[in-house]
Structure 1
Amino acid sequence: MRAQRSPLVFFLLLLALAVPLWLAGGRLGVIGALRIPVSDLALAFTPMAAALILAARAEGGGAAVALLARAFDPRSLGRGRWVAAALLTAPAICLSAWALMRLAGVDGAPLRPDLLRTLLLFVLFLVLAAGEEVGWMGYAYGPMRDRWGALRAALVLAVPWWLGHLPSMAAIGTTAADVAWWILGAAALRVLIAWLYEGTGGSLFAAVLFHALLNLGRILLYPAAGAHYSTAYQATGDVVAAALAAAVAARSRVWPGAARS
């Protein structure tokens, strides 16, 4: 029987792991043209580390291994429309933002990505996304959903997710407007991740895949020199994500379903 998991203990341990990396982040710089802070490579794994530590301590090493395995299990997607939703939702958000920006006269990257670079970036982002979602969706979300319901749990979970990105955003020189728009984006994306998670019957891989494809799309569709961090692009993407999140929150039938993780 699985031990009761405490989101509060998870968040406190996560904070203890993240603070030293945040303090070091400004000294480490960013990764070339991608403009990803070096400290993010470690910070991305702090939710996973907190989740695995707590799962192993309370439930044994087997529970930690099982939790990690869920993040890389494509069979958990099931079949049919939810596979398509997991694969296409993030690209649809990125392409819609790209198209809207083009209509507004802001040029993004041409749609001719290098296939090898794309594959390598996808693998990188898949691993980094697992580092986050094992903690957020694999550990913390379940007890929060059982207490508050799926939608409310997703919105509450968006708050520490938003806060956790602020040091990285500061390291790359984002503006106050970027930070403000990211509030909307974080809430919308967490709702969409919860929607995919519930719709697939508790597939942690669906959350990881969506997260990875979203980051990949941002890099591919705007120049890697940093235009994907521009306020106009962020605002456009956040509005698109919010519109989609509002639609699935209002019309989807997955929300009343109980936990099936």
Structure 2
Amino acid sequence: MKYEGVLTKMKTELVDEVEYYLDFENDFLNLNQLLEKKISLNFLRYQCLNCGQQKKIFRQGFCYDCFTSIPQAGEWIMKPELSKAHLSQEDRDLEYEKRVQLQPHIVYLANSSNVKVGVTRKTQVPTRWIDQGAHEAIEIVEVPNRYLAGITEIALKEHVSDKTNWRKMLTNDILDLDLKEERDKLKEFIPEEAKSYFITDNEETEINFPVKKYSEKIKTLNLTKTPFYQGKLMGVKGQYLLFEDGTVFNVRSHEGFVVELQIV
């Protein structure tokens, strides 16, 4: 069976084990059904997720021209504290920025290898945690806009990491922690503007990933350098495909790559 399409972030569904899907233009693949099967990936060309042109991908699935101009790639995406829609100040497109920034946001703790603090729109819970490969996560505050979430994250990352150790996550070198206890330790460091939004009555979310076997040593597949790869799929975690030989493939970092996927 052969499938062809442009890679985008895998879609997910949180059930007993996370269900993963690749959404191509003409095909919708459930990757859980491909576990323990040999598949191949063949890089064909680029296709910008915004303009659709066959131009080299710069970042986030966009060509350079789109990345430096469209509101979906504004600096406030990666740095929420730079959000200004609540002040009616435009970055690239105020209407878009108000729509995205002026909605409930969550500051959370996620544990994928180590405990880290992060920010996401409320509508992206638990998707954001799944994408990070977190086996457990909990909300800290729910605030009404992205700016408040951003300044809260800035304050808290003085006391807890804001980075995921992806190698530990992919080898399952993890620790189980009491995230309610970890969250409560951080309460005093929340900025005054966000203190009233602290959440006290929630439980942590546990996430199980469809992985048959983890490798002790891993190597990354970069389709720019290695346009063709074939191997037995043993798991999916975060936004990574995990293969029997220790190769891991980050689907999200290859957004905008048109590939042919074949079940061998």
What's the TM-score once normalised by structure 1's chain length? 0.24
Q: When you count strand as a share of all residues, which structure comes out higher?
A: 2
Q: When you count helix as a share of all residues, which structure comes out higher?
A: 1
Larger Rg: 2
